[in-house]
Amino acid sequence: MLQWLFEQRIAVQSVLSDETVTKPAVQKSLAMRASQWELVEQLIPVLQPLAKATEIMCGELHVGLSFIYPVIFNMINTTLRVQASDLAAVRTFKMTVREQLEKRFKLESDDLMESIPIVACMLDARFKHLQFIPESKREAAQSHLNALLEEEAEPLAATGEGPGVQSEDVDDGEGEPVKWKKARLEQDFEQLFGPHYQSGRRAGNYSTADEEVRNYLQTPQMQPTMQNPLQWWAQNVDRFPRLAKLCKRYLAVPATSTPSERIFSLAGNTITRQRAGLHPAHVNALVFLHANQDRKTKPVIEQDCDDD
């Protein structure tokens, strides 16, 4: 709003100064002084990053939880930094917003490195190096991630399962358990394709969680764009099986409650006074279809219909 007003300031001033259009009493109450225009001009670059951050974090078609702390720390160190040329009102505004962000997101807390958004940052290939925080705190975050992986490994070791999805004891219809058949095929592949295949397959067989985390952090970092980190994990799930399982739990957490609130608003618009007799199942179907109407779906072909 302020940006549009500032862009049209010449037209606004012209209309307010034209007595044939604006009455003198109205002109006196609406006319802005030069100091007020200067205040608007300095507030716009401060408010723009806040508006953009709010829009991105409220999205639901991308991973947003890992955005929180990189964006907040960057704004505190750049946008909200007090400049010598700032007006007194702008300086007060920056300091107030900065204090509120530090308080609400507990930036000075000792438990910050164990928070869910920080874990999501480390599991996001765009922010995994945590360059927005001091190096001393990065080690604490890495230690917490190692501990989480160890906790994941304990129940797997107790059940005898590996880090990935297993179906080892299922019969393949020929009297041979699937796990034996897979093991035999792996041996055949290693024999046929030689050391290149073996080195590629064994790259993800890390003996400890700490070793897997270290190798993960040594891989090149993705650029902080809107590219989906889940696609990166789909390509590297075999290299880092423990971390891949953990990322499904943390990267799926929404950054804000806005997506769920949109669904509630959609349900409220669906059930109106004229449509109060809808069956609950029909309401669920209408809300689901409306919320997913823009999603890309797999095209249905005739063969799929015949198989069903």
**The whole model's pTM is what?**
0.73
pLDDT tens per residue, range 170-229: 454 555 555 566 666 666 655 555 554 444 444 456 778 889 999 999 998 887 676 789
φ/ψ of 159, rounded to 5, equals -95, -10
With beta carbons less than 8 A apart as the criterion, state whether 80 and 48 touch. Answer: no
Beta bridge partners of 177: 171
Distance CA 60, CA 49 (A): 19
Q: Which amino acid is at 101?
A: L
With beta carbons less than 8 A apart as the criterion, state whether 130 and 122 touch. Answer: yes
pLDDT tens per residue, range 294-308: 776 555 454 444 554
